[in-house]
Structure 1
Amino acid sequence: MSIIAESKSSSLIEAWRGIQNAKPGIRIREAAKDLGVSEAELLATKTGEQVVRLQGPWPELLTRFKTLGKVMSLTRNGTCILEHKGPFQQIDVMGEGARAMATVIGPIETRVFFSGWKFAFAVTEEKSDRILKSIQVFDGAGDAVTKIYLQEKSDVAAYESLVQDFRAADQNPDLDVTPYASEAQNGPEDTEAFLKEWSELKDTHDFFGLLRRHNVHRYHALELAEGTFTYRVNPKTTPKRILDEASATKLPIMIFAGNRGNLQIHQGKVRTIRVLERGHTGPEQWLNILDPDFNMHMRMDLVHTAWVVRKPTTEGDVTSIELFDVEKNMIAQFFGLRKPGIPEKTEWRAVVKSLSAL
């Protein structure tokens, strides 16, 4: 380690201690924000103690998650966190280089985009009377992509073997992170053609291609289609209302939430819905799903807009509720649970229809 690197990491450690003393119990992500650094940079300062830097190939690392047994998979963005407990059951990797991705199917379901995987760490930390072991992956800006926590019945020997096999030669506590520049999406050049193609969609997955072809940001697409395929609903009441209705009627739903490197998906019923307030710097209103093997935590105070979105398919229209923050970043999507080839449930459509347009 260079003298400069040692000085930088030492000063960051000292600053972190100061924040922890001033705000006992503060989470690392919040501390990093207060210090003006990324979560990955702050975590890396513990390299050599409780943290081991890992290296790729990332598809091989992901595939090894299958050996860990039952774990907890956590994926988050700035507003929403999804947590699932279970094994990594089926992993399929496709593509190479910047286009490489993977699907994970089973109790833990994700869509993985390896272009967003830049740093990874094996982390051992003490929480109350427990020792937590995890694999934590971050993107090039140092933001968390996914975290995999061992559980009581996880295979600890498989975890230790994984850490040994993917241990990076470079254990420097300093990281070179690069903030992402916003992508210019100035389309569509022809709004009428864009909306016509929307009307001709055959599958919900074709929507991503539609946005790419017309170089249009997802939020702007919803604005262009307002009154035709989309309309706004109350952002403060809609998420809880959907979950309360799904819980009361035992209606299976789908929840999508993620970031540039990982999209985690919940499929099934939800039961225990709670709203809680907490925060170190001010009141934070959290909407929670607290079920045995699935948790969701969403900052309701950061939900800025909510949209009903209709997409045509060969099985009829598919309707979603899409939530965005004030910077027009996607927070989460809600669907009625459906399988390919099966029309959308009328019960889900009734829930959506009950929401008043703004």
Structure 2
Amino acid sequence: MNFPLESQAQALRDAVEQIRAAEPKARIRAIADRLDVPELALVAAGCGGIRARRLKEPAQDILKELGVLGRVMALTRNQWAVHERHGRYEDVRAGKSMGIALGPDIDLRLFFNIWGSVWAVQEGGRDSLQFFDRAGGALHKVYVTEETDRAAYEALVNRFLDPDPAWPEYGELPPPEATPVTVAPEALRGDWLAMQDTHEFHGLLRKHQIDRLTALRGAGEDLAQRVSNDLAERVINDVAAQAIPFMCFVGNRGIVQIHSGPIARIMRAGPWLNILEPHFNLHLDTTAIAETWIVNRPTSDGWVTSLECFTTTGEMVVQFFGARKPGVPELASWRRLLTGYCAQPLAA
């Protein structure tokens, strides 16, 4: 690859080597944060023995072809939660600004307005496709596993290789959509009660120009009820103990990844609470949770209840629902679990 700033790339490689010499298990994202550079800079520079090959954009063209790989591991994360799901990419639809994957295992919601470059990466003997935003942050990664069709992976990479790769450009992401109203208006409650689908909630926020937490704080305790911040851990342990299939949502500005199903194996490691299933892993920094809410939304299928966790700056850490499909009522066992945590009754 032709780097216009090869000296800077070498400086990054040297810096990473120094950190890894002292901390062999340091992860690339943490190293990038320490060096105050985006993760993509370290990938493109080949730091820590990485071999990276830039692929042709747009990312949508590659995403539509991922089904040929067979079973892979899909990883989506934010700063406080990492979501890993094994399975196949199925029913992938990727338009100019939005997309979706609706497989039974890999279930994604895609928002392409901030997506940037795509790279085929080899690190520590592992191959992956890595998708970055326009600021150089990692949005989504697709790892080759023992169940992946490796020949199909190499063919896909070769098909999309950029014939004239350049050092990636990255800058600031556009700010999130402004939400100037800081107190929920009276009309919010009526619009909330009129919802027929949980997906209407985003439109409700846009209509009233408020953020999610402002809406939760102003809807009324029968629709949104603040609870203890240790409830995320309690819910995870309770759904495991009671064998309740649930949905776990983790996302960033470019993608949301969803697991649906039961869990059993849970392990705590310092600040991180870990779900460790063969097909699904969640790594959740519970110390980052500053507000936790049980949220109650009406739909044409009945009431749908979620647990939602936020940082001090109002960013979503993780979100849990009972496992369900459109057209199917919420699991009674999930509803009983969440209403049992509430100090005040929920609307029903």
Q: Verify same fold: TM over 0.5.
A: yes
Are positions 1:350 and 2:326 aligned together?
Answer: no
Aligned to 1:73: 74
**What is the one-letter code of the residue matched to 1:25?**
K
**What is the one-letter code of the residue matched to 1:41?**
A
Q: Percent of aligned pairs with the same residue?
A: 37
Aligned to 1:297: 283
Does structure 1 retain, via aligned residues, the 8 Å contact 2:43–2:50? no
Rate the CA distance shift 1:338–1:4 in 2: closer, same or farther, 3 A: closer
Aligned to 1:59: 60
Are positions 1:288 and 2:274 aligned together?
Answer: yes
Question: Is the deviation greater in 46-55 or in 109-118?
Answer: 46-55
Q: CA deviation at 1:72?
A: 0.4
Rate the CA distance shift 1:157–1:75 in 2: closer, same or farther, 3 A: same
Matches within 5 A, 1:188-267: 191-235=185-229, 237-267=230-260
* Number of equivalenced pairs: 343
Rate the CA distance shift 1:302–1:356 in 2: closer, same or farther, 3 A: same
TM-score, length-scaled by structure 1: 0.90
Equivalent of residue 326 in structure 1, options 304, 308, 312: 312
Q: CA deviation at 1:176?
A: 2.4
Question: Is the deviation greater in 203-212 or in 226-235?
Answer: 226-235
Give the distance between the partners of 1:338 and 1:193, measured in 2 at CA: 29
Name the SS of the counterpart of 2:186 in structure 1.
Answer: helix
Equivalent of residue 125 in structure 1, options 113, 123, 126: 123
**What is the one-letter code of the residue matched to 1:76?**
R
Are positions 1:110 and 2:104 aligned together?
Answer: no
Aligned to 2:26: 26
Q: CA deviation at 1:49?
A: 6.4
Q: CA deviation at 1:175?
A: 3.3
Give the distance between the partners of 1:17 and 1:175, measured in 2 at CA: 24
Does structure 1 retain, via aligned residues, the 8 Å contact 2:307–2:321? yes
Rate the CA distance shift 1:102–1:304 in 2: closer, same or farther, 3 A: same
Are positions 1:87 and 2:88 aligned together?
Answer: yes
Are positions 1:159 and 2:153 aligned together?
Answer: yes
Does structure 1 retain, via aligned residues, the 8 Å contact 2:118–2:132? yes
Question: Is the deviation greater in 84-93 or in 318-327?
Answer: 84-93
What residue ranges of structure 2 are gaps of 5+ in the alignment? none
Q: CA deviation at 1:180?
A: 4.1
RMSD over aligned Cα, in angstroms? 2.1
Give the distance between the partners of 2:192 and 2:168, measured in 1 at CA: 46
Q: CA deviation at 1:201?
A: 0.7
Aligned to 1:141: 135
Give the distance between the partners of 1:63 and 1:340, measured in 2 at CA: 24
Q: CA deviation at 1:290?
A: 0.6
Rate the CA distance shift 1:49–1:242 in 2: closer, same or farther, 3 A: closer
Aligned to 2:51: 50
Give the distance between the partners of 1:327 and 1:187, measured in 2 at CA: 16
CA deviation vs aligned residue, 1:235-263 (integer Å, no higher than 9, x gap): 1x211211111111111111111111211
TM-score, length-scaled by structure 2: 0.92
Question: Is the deviation greater in 225-234 or in 207-216?
Answer: 225-234
Does structure 1 retain, via aligned residues, the 8 Å contact 2:197–2:299? yes
Q: CA deviation at 1:44?
A: 1.1
Does structure 2 retain, via aligned residues, the 8 Å contact 1:256–1:265? yes
Give the distance between the partners of 2:17 and 2:248, measured in 1 at CA: 37
Name the SS of the counterpart of 1:197 in structure 2.
Answer: helix
Give the distance between the partners of 2:183 and 2:147, measured in 1 at CA: 55
Does structure 1 retain, via aligned residues, the 8 Å contact 2:13–2:45? yes
Name the SS of the counterpart of 1:349 in structure 2.
Answer: helix
Give the distance between the partners of 1:226 and 1:45, measured in 2 at CA: 51
Aligned to 1:309: 295
Aligned to 1:282: none
Does structure 2 retain, via aligned residues, the 8 Å contact 1:87–1:107? yes
CA deviation vs aligned residue, 1:275-299 (integer Å, no higher than 9, x gap): 112xxxxxxx111111111111101
Rate the CA distance shift 1:144–1:55 in 2: closer, same or farther, 3 A: same
**What is the one-letter code of the residue matched to 2:98?**
A
Question: Is the deviation greater in 207-216 or in 347-356?
Answer: 347-356
